[in-house]
Structure 1
Amino acid sequence: MEMEMAAPYEPKKNSEIRIFESSDDMATDLAEYISQVSEISVKERGYFTIALSGGYLVNLMRKLCEAPYSKTLDWPKWYVFWADERAVAKNHVESNYKLTKEGFLSKVPILNCHVYSINDHATVEDAATDYEFAIRQLVKIRTIGVSESNDCPKFDLILLGIGSDGHVASLFPKHPALELKDDWVTYITDSPEPPPERITFTLPVINSASNIAIVATGEDKAKALHFAISDSYEGPDALSIPARMVQPTDGKLVWFLDEAAASSLMAKSNDFDHPGF
């Protein structure tokens, strides 16, 4: 069941907050949401381009592998990318590709040639360069749309998680990668969470998407979400939270939250301890 959210946390322009009582409710609604975006994109453009992160997100996509979606979605029109990836082998336990392959891709008829994973034999720098090149080629032929405002790729949907520190993709608080304006894909070698080497979409690419969904579960995300969504605190720590910087240029943002993650948003009082990021 989707829950109502207490004031004063009104959704910002072009954004929506959905709160769920259970993982199953969230997975059901997320599947319907992705299905609708897919159907609209295929009808309007002939393709559906989706960029994923790893973690719990893949498990929440499980309903798409079941009826009716398994039979009704136009899977051959799907193109799959990763908004971030760890620079590890594809069969490594920490690979987002491996997680997605086992939990989702192997269960639906998406064409293998439409799945764009990073080159796991290259250095992390070269892997980021190669990934951006592949995306640029697809933008040229308009398989991936293009933003009219900044010429960035305009993915139909970017699906993200959020860390307890407020990071999204592999963009971490106060990291120089947050300042990049011209790169579409970059790399980091100093992730505060292992493994240290990763590739990631930059903020301009994320914010250029037609649709962005951020999924958060667990009480450990509550503080980050408070500062990512709330306007009640404008201090430097809150403003440096990457999730707060996700603001679609010409698209829509939907937050999918369980009750634990949304606990600070649903509270009657605005009082909240400083998270100390």
Structure 2
Amino acid sequence: MAHHPRHAPLLAVFPTQPVLIAELAHFVAKAQKDAIDKKGRFTIALSGGSLPAMLAGLVDHPHIKWHHWHVFYVDERAVPLDHPDSNHRACTEALFARVPIPAAQIHPIDVAQLGDLEELADAYEKTLIHAFAQKDAARFPVFDLVLLGMGPDGHTASLFPAHALLAEEDRWVAPLADAPKPPPERITFTYPVINHAARVVFVATGAGKADVLARVLDHPEEGLPAARVRPVAPGQLYWFVDEPAAARTAYPRTDLKL
């Protein structure tokens, strides 16, 4: 898929984590408005890990139209929805329990109702097909916004360094039973789904992300999983980071003027 044109990532650096959280909320509100103006709904895919806590600025934001939101998961661990490792539980506690998104418009991956990982992945792919197929003629779903985190090893979603799934180009949702960090059993969006989004935002904060952020932005040729997220034009990739995370990268900064 390398022949598709792709824009360079935009790096936005904020002085502190609270400022980042507030500016991320403004960015999401603008992406939401653009989507609703264009097609009457807003499709967003969320990750777990440290990301849900970064959504706090949305809770009381005056311009969020929750009834237009349709929420999906970039990846999920194969655990019950109330399990401490569940991305859905983390997002529910951080956001959904505090805002009025219609329950039918939040699409968790429910392990309790299905058997094995292949079934989980196929069922979630069918959920995406149902949500997007009638509205988009594209080969892959086109999310309005995908929000990602990044691990200190450079992984994102459940796409890990040197894993076979890095080369997956056909499936929308793929299972893996061998994630190198617990829990090992997961399902995840593939790169074609992430890279067809209109906007993709990585959020990385803290000094613990400084080394890997520099590798991803300054040396994308290393091929770390996060560096392989490069949306097909007109899609755009943004990095929202704080000063400690940006301490070691020489990548040029962008003033987003939100």
Q: TM-score w.r.t. structure 1 length?
A: 0.84
Residue 111 of structure 1 is matched in structure 2 by 102
Number of aligned residue pairs: give it. 244
The yes-or-no answer on 1:245 pairing with 2:228 is yes
Does the aligned pair in 2 maintain the 1:119–1:130 contact within 8 Å?
Answer: no
The yes-or-no answer on 1:160 pairing with 2:148 is yes
3-state DSSP class of the match of 1:134?
helix
Q: Distance in 1 between matches of 2:190 and 2:151?
A: 17
Residue 41 of structure 1 is matched in structure 2 by 35
1:57-104 Cα shifts (integer Å, max 9, x gaps)? 111111111142xxx322111000000111100010010000111110
Does the aligned pair in 1 maintain the 2:133–2:141 contact within 8 Å?
Answer: no
Residue 270 of structure 1 is matched in structure 2 by none
The yes-or-no answer on 1:137 pairing with 2:120 is no
Percentage of pairs with the same residue: 38
Q: Distance in 1 between matches of 2:169 and 2:209?
A: 28
Does the aligned pair in 1 maintain the 2:7–2:232 contact within 8 Å?
Answer: no
Within-5 A mapping of 1:161-240: 161-231=149-219, 234=221, 238-239=222-223
Q: TM-score w.r.t. structure 2 length?
A: 0.90
Runs of at least 5 residues in structure 2 that lack an aligned partner in the other structure: 1-5, 252-258
Q: 1:101 aligns with which of 92, 112, 115?
A: 92
Runs of at least 5 residues in structure 1 that lack an aligned partner in the other structure: 1-11, 268-277
Within-5 A mapping of 1:39-118: 39-68=33-62, 72-118=63-109
User: Which is bigger in relative contact order (C-alpha 8 A, separation at least 6)?
Assistant: 2
1:119-174 Cα shifts (integer Å, max 9, x gaps)? 212222211110001101112221xx454xxx110000000000101111000011
Please tell me the root mean square deviation across aligned C-alpha atoms, in Å: 1.7
Structure 1 position 266, deviation (Å): 5.1
Question: Which residue identity is paired with 1:175?
Answer: H
- Bigger CA drift: 56-65 or 44-53? 56-65
Q: Distance in 2 between matches of 1:67 and 1:139?
A: 27
Does the aligned pair in 1 maintain the 2:7–2:230 contact within 8 Å?
Answer: no
Q: Could you say which structure has the larger radius of gyration?
A: 1
3-state DSSP class of the match of 2:34?
helix
**Moved >3 Å (runs of 4+):** none
